[in-house]
């Protein structure tokens, strides 16, 4: 009997661990996307009869497991990016997992609290809470559960209406509906026909919409003007940038010349941080031969210093030069990586930089304008900016004359993460920016994965990881704006309002009840009409 009770007590925690494992196995990188449709079912079962406080703890355990498995590559990142020793890097992973796991914990707590106090169905409460938290929960590396479905193009096209949050809502709704169906069967031994029909109808509607949108986007892309763009992936990591910057530049020049000799190109794209440049102003020319004498416009990543102020912190930048080396435009990275490109509060407490001597001291950019290439506009972002939907949406608002960028271009260095699942996770997250704006995404990385993503979010061409290669593709210059581009994360705001209503409404009702006049005691109450009638009958 004691062992039986112990097992019963342990089952919710085992279910939480199971759910956490299913989440990261179903995510991009491990790519068992179908597991994401059931990954939350064990956790919903584990918290169904628990007090909200215990549901929080159960969810936190699941979240910690999920993040350890999903972000295991953070150990290599801390070692490469911040120069941490292995034990300190492992501790960093645990702290990151514990911090990110709080979102999972908050979802479990709020789902249990709202369903208990309001009587609302878990089928809708669970996805509403999760989506609201994905929108507003602060994270260094947002991961968005919906990104697990990046290979299922028919399922993901709703992102042009809702953004990636809509795909997340759908994934969590599927989990919640399947849990409700399972619960009805286990407790009442009957089939939950209504829930199954609604679930089937929702999925069918999403798939039909996806088919319609893909056909329309493909037709528009086929009719659009196109640029032939070449990508350079030299397979030289962050260490090469520090130890042999001249050799790194020379290799990009040689690979560019070889690529240009093979076929006509409209643009060559280099990855992040290839060139170190000191400039007095953003107007001017590069030294002859700096980009390989290809006479082809080149977009390249640079560490940009201002020669006018030697004390100023540098920028992580992207510069566009024409075939003669004349600078056409520049973009400075606006979202810097904490503890890699700066230390929070490091300018206030400079001694913090002595704890992580390899950490950069860059300053964020402020200008979101696209870069002009002839009559086209290139919306450029750098490194992990492409996983922030709000940042890309702000960059896609266009210029003062109302023109909207024709293409998205990302310059990245993913060598910090070793040969891990991070590069494909990064690419999967970034691919949703194409769906959200119906623009091709061109990604140039130094060690992979470089890729061309079409305007429907499909990865058309990609490189390997830690390979030396070049890629070329014809990229459509798309027009128009999507509903998501106009309205942003409206579904996240709606879910947040419903979330707050579910928390506040039962408490307001309880407060009103406690403040209402108490009924007089029974002995002081005059007889009601039925009581009086009863007394007369007794007489």
Output the domain CATH number for residue 409: 3.60.110.10
More confident of the two residues 263 and 245: 263
454 sits in the region (left: phi over 0; alpha: psi -120 to 50; else beta) called beta
Task: Report d(CA 361, CA 346) in Å as an integer.
Answer: 9
Judge if 139 and 280 occupy the same domain.
Answer: no
Chain centroid to Cα 466, Å, comes to 23
DSSP annotation of 299: E
Cβ neighbours for 121, distance < 8 A, ≥ 6 positions apart? 115, 180
Whether 241 is covered by a domain: the verdict is: yes
Claim to verify: residue 107 and residue 255 sit in the same structural domain: no
My answer on whether 17 and 159 are in the same domain is yes
Same domain, 187 and 244: no
Q: Which pTM does this prediction carry? A: 0.90
Same domain membership, residue 326 and residue 448: yes
231 and 211 belong to one structural domain: no
Query: Which residue did the predictor score with more confidence, 193 or 111?
Result: 111
Domain count, the chain: 2
Segment 223-246 shows an average pLDDT of 88
Domain membership of residue 158 (yes or no) is yes
Give yes or no for residue 208 having a pLDDT over 70: yes
Task: Give 342 or 260, the one with higher predicted confidence.
Answer: 260
Residue 454 in domain = yes
**Model pLDDT for residues 17-66, shown as the tens digit of each residue:** 999 999 999 999 999 999 999 999 999 999 999 999 999 999 999 999 99
Residue 121 lies in a domain: yes
Q: Domain boundary residue among 219, 250, 265?
A: 219
Domain end residue (candidates: 180, 196, 219): 219
**Whether 177 and 267 share a structural domain:** no
Residue % of the chain over a pLDDT of 70: 92
Do residues 432 and 441 make contact, with C-beta atoms less than 8 angstroms apart?
no
State the Cα–Cα distance between residues 204 and 208, nearest whole angstrom.
Answer: 6
Same domain, 293 and 172: no
* Contact of 475 with 407, CB cutoff 8 Å: yes
* Shared-domain flag, residues 379 and 427: yes
488 within some domain: no
Same domain, 191 and 271: no
Domain membership of residue 517 (yes or no) is no
Do 261 and 173 fall into the same domain?
A: no
441 and 345 in a common domain: yes
Biggest distance spanned by C-alpha atoms of the chain? 117
Q: Which of 146, 125, 134 is nearest to 26 (CA)?
A: 146
Residue ending a domain, choose from 478, 509, 526 = 478
| Residue 515, domain member (yes or no) | no
Using an 8 Å Cβ cutoff, are 19 and 43 in contact? Answer: yes
**Residues spanned by the domain of 143:** 7-219
How far apart CA 445 and CA 236 sit, in angstroms, is 10
Give a yes or no: residue 419 inside a domain: yes
State residue 287's pLDDT score.
84
């Amino acid at each position: 009997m004691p062992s039986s009770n112990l097992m019963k007590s342990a089952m919710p925690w085992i279910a939480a661990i199971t759910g956490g494992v299913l989440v990261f196995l179903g995510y991009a990188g491990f790519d068992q996307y179908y597991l994401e449709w059931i990954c939350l079912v064990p956790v919903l079962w584990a918290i169904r009869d628990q007090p909200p406080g215990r549901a929080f703890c159960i969810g936190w355990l699941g979240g910690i497991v999920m993040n350890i498995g999903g972000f295991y590559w953070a150990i290599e990142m801390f070692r490469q990016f911040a120069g941490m020793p292995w034990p300190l890097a492992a501790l960093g992973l645990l702290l990151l997992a514990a911090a990110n796991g709080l979102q999972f914990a908050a979802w479990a707590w709020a789902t249990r609290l709202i369903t208990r106090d309001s009587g609302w169905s878990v089928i809708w409460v669970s996805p509403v809470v999760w989506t609201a938290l994905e929108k507003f929960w602060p994270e260094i590396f947002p991961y968005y559960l919906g990104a697990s479905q990046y290979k299922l193009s028919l399922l993901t096209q709703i992102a042009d209406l809702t953004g990636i949050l809509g795909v997340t809502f759908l994934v969590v709704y599927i989990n919640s509906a399947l849990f409700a169906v399972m619960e009805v069967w286990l407790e009442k031994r009957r089939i939950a026909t209504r829930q199954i029909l609604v679930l089937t109808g929702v999925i069918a509607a999403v798939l039909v919409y996806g088919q319609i949108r893909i056909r329309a986007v493909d037709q528009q892309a086929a009719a659009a003007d196109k640029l032939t763009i070449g990508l350079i992936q030299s397979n030289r990591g962050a260490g090469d940038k520090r130890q042999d910057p001249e050799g790194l530049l020379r290799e990009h020049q040689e690979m560019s010349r070889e690529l240009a000799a093979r076929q006509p190109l409209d643009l060559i794209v280099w990855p992040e941080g290839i060139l170190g440049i000191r400039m007095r102003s953003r107007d001017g020319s590069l030294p002859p031969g700096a980009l390989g004498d290809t006479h082809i416009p080149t977009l390249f990543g640079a560490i940009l210093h201002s020669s006018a102020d030697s004390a100023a912190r540098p920028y992580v930048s992207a510069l566009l030069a024409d075939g003669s080396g004349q600078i056409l435009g520049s973009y400075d990275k606006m979202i810097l990586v904490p503890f890699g490109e700066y230390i929070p509060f490091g300018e206030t407490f400079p001694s913090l930089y002595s704890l992580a001597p390899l950490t950069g001291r860059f300053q964020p950019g402020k200008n979101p304008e696209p870069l002009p290439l002839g009559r086209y506009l290139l919306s450029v972002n750098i490194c992990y900016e492409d996983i922030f939907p709000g940042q890309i949406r702000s960059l896609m608002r266009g210029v003062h004359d109302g023109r909207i960028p024709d293409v998205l271009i990302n310059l990245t260095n993913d060598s910090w993460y070793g040969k891990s699942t991070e590069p494909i996770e990064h690419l999967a997250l970034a691919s949703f920016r194409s769906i959200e704006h119906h623009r091709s995404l061109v990604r140039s990385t130094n060690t992979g994965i470089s890729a061309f993503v079409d305007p429907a979010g499909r990865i058309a061409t990609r490189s390997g990881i830690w390979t030396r290669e070049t890629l070329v593709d014809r990229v459509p210059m798309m027009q128009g704006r999507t509903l998501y581009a106009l309205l942003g994360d409206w579904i996240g705001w709606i879910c947040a309002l419903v979330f707050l209503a579910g928390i506040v409404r039962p408490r307001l009702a309880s407060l009103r009840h406690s403040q209402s006049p108490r009924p007089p005691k029974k002995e002081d109450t005059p007889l009601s009409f039925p009581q009086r009638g009863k007394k007369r009958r007794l007489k």
